[in-house]
Amino acid sequence: MLLDLPVLEKGDFYFIKESDSDFVLEDKTKRGLNIKETSIDERLKVNADKGIIYDMEGTGNTVVIRWYFPKNQFTLEDVLIPAKEMEKKYTELRELTCPDDD
């Protein structure tokens, strides 16, 4: 089960966990979101669990909950690249929308 996997790295907005065959990059902001499908992520080209978030108009938007990077193709350092990009994006968004929260 994914909750029981050892955490290798963590940031404010992500976990990198390790299974026998994969490094699993998990978006902390999507915790609790139900998985609606598992398919290839178009940007990172790896399997990803995806869910749906609804906006204020009721439109559903598919979002990635976690990505699976096969260990035979990726190193932990490879996985840290999109993890750090995610961290930077969410930090900038937080600073823009909540400038007084520290």
Query: Token match 């009721």: residue?
Result: 58
Is the predicted pLDDT of residue 1 greater than 90, yes or no?
Answer: no
Identify the pLDDT of residue 3: 65
Q: How far is CA 92 from CA 3, 8, 83, 85, 96, in A?
A: 28, 24, 14, 11, 6
What does pTM read for this prediction?
A: 0.90
Identify the pLDDT of residue 10: 96
Is the predicted pLDDT of residue 100 greater than 90, yes or no?
Answer: no
Q: Specify whether the CB–CB gap between 14 and 83 falls below 8 A.
A: yes
